[in-house]
Structure formats: structure tokens, C-alpha cells
Amino acid sequence: MKFHITEQTPKLLKLQLKPQATFYWLFGGIFIIGGVFLIAALGKATSFSCSRVGEEANICQLTTKNLLTTQTQSWHFQEIVEAKLDTTTTDAWGSYPFVLQTTHGSVLINLLNADSTKKEAKAAQINTFLKIPQEQNLTIGEDSRLWTYPLGLLMIAVGAVCIASILRNKKIICVVDKTVGKITIERQSWLGNQILEAKLSEIVTIELNSFEFDNILSYNIRLILADNHHIDLATASIFTATTANQIKETLTSFINL
């Protein structure tokens, strides 16, 4: 936040504050992109099922559902060699890939939430089912959408709040006029301007109002009025500690609080 005293006389003080928009656009953009990635790329429901009864008798199917598509692959029992972990490589998460070995090649069964131990157990389930004719049905799988969708939406919301803060705080002009005995705060934004006023005699004190996110503190300047109401300088906590204290000291000194 850029802080400038544009005019100062014994009777008049004008402050202009302009947010450092780059940080908020970058921070908000990273969160929005990260949220979309979680939902679109990692939000999947994976199911592997086999049956010896009904219309799909002696067939195994691998179904993968994401936000936009559903993919299904099918094999007859005799086409499946085994399910196993490919110990010759690791996936993006540092775990051995879970693959289905068929007569046509290897097919990846992507289980995002499972570690190597869980994958081995599921591979054993598949291999055991194929060897025991008495078993009629088998279904294994997971749905990572249960956590990727809520987390992704939360990240998108946080990013949107960051960007909205910039749109709502394009520029702030604060005028303290002792001649008429009032303070005027003009909040200029891309969404429209807002003007707030208060009598200097109504101001009891000036405080810093803090907001913490991910161990990062940001501040707003709050004018406490005699009727227990208050006026905030900005619509959100967008000031650093240094800037907030400078503004507070400047206003407190000029108003003689």
C-alpha cells in the first residue's frame, strides 16, 4: 500500500493511499489456479469392478470420472494377467504405480489417496478374486473428489477475496479538515466510489484492526467513535504493520487524540 501526504497545513491534512495491486493479483491468481487444478486434475472417482454374474459376467471394468468426463475400459477375465505395483518406477507422489497387467499391456489404476501398502492390498484382492471361482463380485476404488472439491473451492474463494479487495480499494483519499471539524474518507474502487464522514469531536481513538491468514498479518485503520460505532479506512485489512502504524500516528498527531 502506497501512502502519501498530498497536502498538509495546520488546518488541513490530505492522505492518499493506493494498494500495491501486484501482490494481491499474484496471490489471488495462484490460489484460484491452484483451486481449479485440484478440482479439474486431481478430483477423480476411480472404480475397478469385476463380476461373474449378470450381463457383465466374466468382465472387469475400470471407470474413471472427473469434472467433465467419464472413461471406462473393459477386459474379459482371460485378458487379465495380474494386478501389481510397478516397482521399477515411481509416480508424481513418490509411490509405486498400481497397474493392471493385461495381454494387451499395462494399464494404470490411479489411486491418489492410497500409499504403497494400500495399493498392494488392493492388488491382492484383484488377484485373489480372479483365482477363486466362488467369488461373484469385486469392487475397489476411491473418490478423491471428497476432499479435492471442498479444498479447491476454498482456494478459489480465498483468491477471489484477494482480487475483490483490490477491486474495492483502487484508491483511498482521507481528508481531515479542522476548519469544518470533520474527517472524510473516499474509497475509490472499480465497483464504484464510497464516501464516509465523521465529526472530529466524535472520534475517541484510532486503532489497528488486524487479520491473520497463513501466519501473515495485515491491518486496517479503525476510527472509534463516541457512540461505540466505528469507521474503517479501507474495506479490508490491506495494510502492512509499518504502513498502518504510519497512518495511525499521522492521523492521531494531526487530530490531537
Q: What is the pLDDT of residues 118-169, one digit of tens each?
A: 999 999 999 999 999 888 999 999 999 999 999 999 999 999 988 887 777 6
Note whether 99 and 10 are same-domain residues: no
Structure confidence at residue 20 (pLDDT): 62
Task: Identify the bridge partners of residue 14 per DSSP, sorted by sequence position.
Answer: 7, 175
Domain that holds residue 98: 44-143
Q: What is the residue-averaged pLDDT of the chain?
A: 89
Note whether 176 and 134 are same-domain residues: no
Q: Is residue 159 part of a domain?
A: no
Report d(CA 110, CA 106) in Å as an integer.
Answer: 12
Q: Is residue 132 part of a domain?
A: yes
Note whether 135 and 193 are same-domain residues: no
Q: How many domains does the chain have?
A: 2
Note whether 52 and 6 are same-domain residues: no
Q: Is residue 38 part of a domain?
A: no
Note whether 129 and 176 are same-domain residues: no
Q: Is residue 229 part of a domain?
A: yes
